[in-house]
Amino acid sequence: MFSVAFLLLAAASCVKCEQLTQAAAQAVQSGQSLTISCQVSYSLGSYPTFWIRQAAGKTLEWIGAARTGYTTDYNNMMKNKFSITLQDSSKTVTLNGQNMQHEDSGVYYCARRDTVIQTSSKAVQKLLNKLFQTTREGLFCVILCILLY
């Protein structure tokens, strides 16, 4: 038991967790604008922060990515609808949408780079099963994550 605990403590020093916090759910009327903020724990210049949405029954759609000191990139099909702004002092990434319509309904996510992979104009979440290649590795990760949380 001591060797397992020691191994976990040694590994814990190598793991860094980042936190992204979004506001509660909100609703907007057709034709209105949308503003969603995401506060992050990391420097906005160190990683791009993505905005992604998922409409009911559809795949994830990449909206855009922003990073301090770099040009903000947008999905070509959404660049006239959405804009992303950065507030370095408060570490806040804000998604602004205009003229929102019923087809814009869905769950909107902010995510740090390496959480998603961009393929063309779609985003796909990395699957946890890549992390859980064997039961032993998976158990180790679960225990480690619980201890770090």
The answer to whether 106 and 43 are in contact (CB under 8 A) is no
Give the rounded percent of residues in the chain with a pLDDT score beyond 90: 54
pLDDT digits (tens, 9 = 90+) for 37-74: 999 999 999 999 999 999 989 999 999 999 999 999 99
18-128: CATH homologous superfamily?
Immunoglobulins (2.60.40.10)
Map out the domains of the chain as residue ranges: 18-128
Q: Of 81, 77, 21, which is closest to residue 49 (Cα–Cα)?
A: 21
- Global pTM value: 0.66
